[in-house]
A and B are shown apart, each in its own frame.
Chain A
């Protein structure tokens, strides 16, 4: 490799941290979802990769390219980072075939986290549909950490997926169900034998249990249709657009607000988002 010009030794935001795949878990019956646990080859990189829930990273597969994926672990979980990857394109398909022990890269953290600092003192209702639960799983883990839990009011977690097999992070939410400092409602869209939880789409479940809007913020993550149908339920309960927080996805490459493809009006989803309030999005073109 010939070096041209000056070496970019520090702060090259294009340079991924080398990681080893510590484990791969198949998450869904159709094998379209896998959760990867990565360990940094250089333990110091874990400190450099300082993040908060809601941020994402570029998973960097040599020879294939990069994909932006929300971070599913919480920074309170030490020694590793978690990412759940849906198999849709060239990079994710290749990644799905990689094995424990393989070396690849993680570049980030990128984007802004959920506004956990600004939400201090508030009640929070967290609403997840399908595999978009990942960064919300990170949020709940972070909020329930003893250092953080006292800073927040009532916490409600609503989560729905197609079938029990499509519900991710079962060990986590089953453990949360046993706690008394979080209300957990997990639903599947259609009844199957043996299921004892709620049945119905997320908006319907939310309508049943929606906490009062007073001093409460809602964080929604899910496919566009779920986000769209959840909003009226929140409006009915009295939530205002600046207390409805969402995370957007758009095609991205650099993740740095430079390469230009993920913009929604003047904002870049990668650099200025992916977290926006509904009040912000109401002023922007719906190009997401």
Chain B
């Protein structure tokens, strides 16, 4: 049995026992998707539901997104970044620690369906996977692709593939990936302000303002988002490029020091905008100024949500 099947089995077993013992009322995990290269969110409430739970390298959404405002005890299937998001939600008082059970999955990185589609141009009707490869097929073809060649870009650089704070791990720790060295961001920041503006304007030129990036993000749990607020109305509702840019800048700033690089925003974007580019600039700043990575302890709050007398202040002119 490969690692994927082992993890799937362990998730199912654990989910069943949590539901049977009453330690959880619902287990949020993944099921097989209805289309190729997709694993979909699934809410298991009875022991028999648990047979639908799977682990897959297509499990692209961050399920911590479903935690805020939830009452009752919940167990969450979480890879490294998702577990850190869930921990962040506990520190931000979105869910009581006692209501949360983390079923941790050591993750080897998820597959980017866009990269697969770019590699195999023909319409894909079916996709299967082993630990190292995926096999896609369609009318008159079947092709095997190495997962390492089609990982999501946030999975290629990942600081914590295995959950650090899980209540239980479903397998041995995953081999570490190299962390983000921000080389491209450093190069971007070395450019002139107008060149940087051009870069980001070009990045979001296809944005539809559907807010899928926001809605897929476990950090975006405000009851009313600033873009939707009407009294006062902070932002126009049209496709005016200035309004669109304001949305992206403020969204990213609201996530500064809280983002765990899970990539759910980019996964959800229907026009393939690399929304994380905004976040990465801020990730870099937070790591440099506070040596902080979110979601690694149950206590420490994100640096930009607290004040400390020794906070850096030399940027105030």
Contacts and interface: CB of A to CB of B under 8 A. Distances in A.
B191 interface: no
B305 interface: no
A90 interface: yes
B228 to A, nearest CB: 14
A89 B233 CA distance: 12
What 5 A-B pairs come out closest when comparing CB atoms? A90-B231, A90-B230, A89-B231, A90-B233, A89-B230
B260 to A, nearest CB: 36
Interface of B: 230-231, 233
Interface string A59-93: 00000000000000000000000000000011000
A86 to B, nearest CB: 16
Contacts of A89: 230-231
Contacts of B230: 89-90
5 contacts: A89-B230, A89-B231, A90-B230, A90-B231, A90-B233
B177 to A, nearest CB: 46
Contacts, number: 5
Nearest to B230: A90
A90 B231 CA distance: 7
A90 B230 CA distance: 8
A89 B230 CA distance: 9
Contacts of B231: 89-90
Interface in A83-121: 89-90
A259 to B, nearest CB: 13
A82 B115 CA distance: 62
A266 B231 CA distance: 31
B214 to A, nearest CB: 21
Contacts of A90: 230-231, 233
Interface string A6-24: 0000000000000000000
Contacts of B233: 90
Nearest to A90: B231
A90 B233 CA distance: 10
A120 to B, nearest CB: 44
Nearest to B231: A90
A275 to B, nearest CB: 29
B237 to A, nearest CB: 11
A95 to B, nearest CB: 15
B59 to A, nearest CB: 34
Interface string A118-142: 0000000000000000000000000
A90 B232 CA distance: 9
A89 B231 CA distance: 8
A138 B289 CA distance: 68
B172 to A, nearest CB: 52
A90 B229 CA distance: 12
